[in-house]
């Protein structure tokens, strides 16, 4: 069973400020946290300097005898680790991967990235959510904290 450390903060938030999603699986090819594989490239969202909650969701993640780190990035800077899982024995499937992080971006337009690194090519699953066997989209949602 993997050891999971969620990001700080809690779920929820107020008014949605931005929403970005993917609808296809992503294999994490980077093994180095300093140069991760981009999972979700967020559009530029404009913030007003108030507190924001980012909620990140992936339907499923597979980890084969290794680890995976999911982090929030702005440009070339890692802002925080959102999720970490490690498995040393066999394949593990983590379902309903969620992370939240509360932070205060400056009043401006910002572009964030959700990126991952890991050993043995973990896979983050996502889909169009259009049928009984399709995964829902993976997403990053930015909300104003009320």
List the chain domain ranges.
3-144
pLDDT value at residue 31:
95
- The model's pLDDT over 3-18, given as tens digits with 9 standing for 90+, comes to 333 433 444 457 999 9
Range 3-144 has CATH code 2.60.40.1930? no
Nearest alpha-carbon partner for 116 in 59, 39, 26, 6? 39
* Pairwise CA distance, residues 141 & 135, whole Å: 18
- The model's pLDDT over 19-63, given as tens digits with 9 standing for 90+, comes to 999 999 999 999 999 999 999 999 999 999 999 999 999 999 999
Q: Is the pLDDT of residue 75 over 90?
A: yes
């Amino acid at each position: 069973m993997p050891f999971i450390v969620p990001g700080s903060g809690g779920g929820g938030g107020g008014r949605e400020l931005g929403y970005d999603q993917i609808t296809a699986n992503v294999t994490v090819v980077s093994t180095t946290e300093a140069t991760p594989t981009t999972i979700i490239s967020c559009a530029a969202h404009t913030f007003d300097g108030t507190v924001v909650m980012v909620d990140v969701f992936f339907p499923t993640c597979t980890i084969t005898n290794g680890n995976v780190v999911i982090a929030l990035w702005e440009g070339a800077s890692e802002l925080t680790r959102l999720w970490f899982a490690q498995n040393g024995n066999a394949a593990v499937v983590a379902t309903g991967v969620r992370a939240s992080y509360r932070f205060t971006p400056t009043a401006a337009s910002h572009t964030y990235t959700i990126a991952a690194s890991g050993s043995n090519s973990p896979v983050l699953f996502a889909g169009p959510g259009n049928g009984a066997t399709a995964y829902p989209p993976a997403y990053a949602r930015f909300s104003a904290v009320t």
